Amino acid sequence: MLELMLGRAGSGKTAAVMRSMGELHRGGRQSVMIVPEQYSHDAERQLCAECGNGISLSAEVLSFSRICSRVFEETGKAAYKTLDP
């Protein structure tokens, strides 16, 4: 299920997403947080700080380029050559 959270900066969107991912982890469900490329490392560190290191077993923080790579790996399309990166 895709859920979009919209709001102004500082309104608590990120904290709400982190809490929700922690609840899903405790329930044994997988979750993915999609973030811009430059924010992926910070978001992953914040998720682990907020929910504990065990969250990395069931939750992922992915950027758009990493999602593309994952899809290509899963579908076997990674072997195709592209015109440019």
71-81 pLDDT, tens digit per residue, is: 888 887 766 66
Q: Bigger pLDDT: 26 or 77?
A: 26
What's the predicted TM-score (pTM) here? 0.72
List the alpha helices (DSSP H) in 2-63.
13-26, 40-51
Q: What is the pLDDT of residue 78?
A: 64
Q: What is the pLDDT of residue 80?
A: 64
Q: Per residue in 32-51, pLDDT tens?
A: 888 899 988 999 998 889 88
Residue 82: pLDDT band by 50, 70, 90 thresholds? Answer: low
Q: Per residue in 1-13, pLDDT tens?
A: 777 889 999 999 8
